[in-house]
Amino acid sequence: MIPPGLIISAPASGTGKTTVTLGLLSAFRAAGLTVQPFKSGPDYIDPAFHRAASGRASVNLDTWAMGRDRIAGVVAAADGADLILAEGSMGLFDGVARAGEAGTGASADLAALTGWPVVLVLDVSGQAQSAAAVALGFTVLRPDVAIAGVILNRVASPRHEMLVRAGMEAAGIAVLGALPRNPDVSVPERHLGLVQAEETPELDRIVAEAGTFIAANLDLDALRAAAGRTQLDAAAPVPVTPPGQRIALARDAAFSFVYPHLLDGWRRAGAEVVPFSPLADEVPDAAADCCWLPGGYPELHGPELAAAARFRRGLRRFAETRPVHGECGGYMAMGEAIVDREGRRHAMAGLLGLVTSFEKRRMHLGYRLADLAAQMPGHRPGARLRGHEFHYSTILAQPDMPLARVTDANGEPVPETGSRRGHATGTFFHLIAEAT
């Protein structure tokens, strides 16, 4: 049976919803509850923190890239838990202009689809009763989205809290707790968002302190009681075609961004996933019939990857007879070179002619719809794929044949078409699902 759920959202990014989510997961777990975390939207980093706090794998739910049936199949992972907590992305109503499979990607679309009420995390610094006007606007904008209440964050003093609460009471909005400013409870950040969970040496301390902080300042009983019944019926996961029967998967600090629902889908289809570490100069498993290099932070490990001669030779040998596919950072590592932010050039595997640079940073962000011009592992020519792109690299050279015609969520072409050469393929977007 799928348990009731809540979505932790906010009016905008940077309000503290990740810290609140981690703290709630930790606090409920300490209280003896089994909580299933999810992440709304295409985020590669938050789910690993969710797992550390909850003890359960966190999975992405994306209404632009996933249909209702696929979302229902992923939500079924919550079977047996006591509560669902889904962390939203950006602001509650922020999505793209054109709907995809089941919505625009906004957290509000996920709330409407699942029936999970929303808890708004409000940064009330610099305001008092006026915060109620913001909250009230969120309660009335979409009748199909229920607002369970608000959490007041960055409260300056008891007097400040009293004034904000007075405004909320006048507006008829439930206050589920108030958090004083606490710089000690935060998660470190870098240019693609949060630092990865496995790179956070004090992660256990951060999660424990966040749980204690949240338990001391929020009404956990009221939050649990506010959770709404899940409207989606339990369903079997939508089948995913794996890229091979035995998949060599690059997995270390440089290559870690792969969606959990894809790994789960590959295994459910009978595939075996065999990890290896390029940073440790390891080579793909010789018995594998496909190699997959996920995204990550290869630009932070340019010297180590350039010095990993055994890995690079082994990858080239593998690609002589079997497919190798890379996404974003993995795609860049398959190219000729990466230029780091100091302008230093680091040789990569050379399976493709791609050369990328971080010397002049430029953000590339958004959903991607790709029509394949050629086969890539797990997908035939002509297949339509939905994914998401997020990086700061600039293309200096992309000489190989394009892998796909790629457009953004508005249907506008983008130059990051991916590449193909022999058995090697790569894309800047991270695959989420094949379009229906």
Mean per-residue pLDDT, 41-53: 89
Give me the DSSP letters along 342-361: TS-EEE---SS--EEE-SS-
Q: Is the pLDDT of residue 182 over 90?
A: no
Amino acid at 279: L
Q: Is the pLDDT of residue 143 over 70?
A: yes
Q: Is the pLDDT of residue 416 over 90?
A: yes
Tell me whether strands 290-293 and 324-327 are parallel, antiparallel or unpaired: parallel
User: Looking at the chain, how many residues does it have?
Assistant: 436
Q: What is the pLDDT of residue 20?
A: 96
Strand spans (E) along 14-171 = 35-40, 59-61, 83-87, 118-123, 147-155
Share of the chain above pLDDT 70, in %: 96
Q: Structure tokens of 102?
A: 């089941």
- pLDDT tier at 187 (50, 70, 90 boundaries)? low
**Displacement of CA 231 from its chain's centroid (Å):** 23
Q: Is the pLDDT of residue 197 over 50?
A: no
pLDDT, one tens digit per residue, over 359-412 is 877 888 899 999 999 999 999 999 999 999 998 889 999 999 999 999 999 999
Q: What is the pLDDT of residue 342?
A: 92
Catalytic residues: 328
pLDDT, one tens digit per residue, over 315-373 is 999 999 999 999 999 999 999 999 999 999 999 999 999 999 998 778 888 999 999 99
CA distances from 87 to 75, 78, 105, 164, 170 (A): 14, 15, 13, 24, 28
Give the neighbor-by-neighbor strand order of the sheet with 5-9: 59-61, 35-40, 83-87, 5-9, 118-123, 147-155, 175-180
